[in-house]
Amino acid sequence: MAIGKKSGGGSRKGKPNKLTKSVKEAFEIAFNELQSDKKANLATWAKENTTDFYRLAAKLIPTSLNADLTSKGEEIKQWTVVITDGDKSK
């Protein structure tokens, strides 16, 4: 094998590693358990930390979307939608 070249081994592209998958699953379990606790659920935290809540919620909204629109099997046009905060002073 030449220097600097990768071998063909390893996980396929885009597949999360086992540790990442385990941590995400553990967070999901903990999150679901907390939702039944009125003192510790997300809604309670959001009410007390509205700025942080909206900052996190905004990160979950896609910033762009690519879509192929078709009508009766024929492509109409490809659209790109970009969502901005509407603040023109930036």
- pLDDT of residue 48 exceeding 90: yes
**Domain span at 52:** 18-82
Half-sphere exposure of 52 (CA within 13 A, CB side): 8
Per-residue pLDDT tens digits for 21-45: 899 999 999 999 999 998 889 999 9
Structural domains counted in the chain:
1
**pLDDT number for residue 67:** 67
CA atoms of 85 and 64, how far apart (whole Å): 13
Q: Confirm whether 90 is domain-assigned.
A: no
**Is 89 domain-assigned?**
no
- Give a yes or no: residue 10 inside a domain: no
Per-residue pLDDT at 69: 66
| Residue 2 reports pLDDT greater than 80 | no
Residue 3 lies in a domain: no
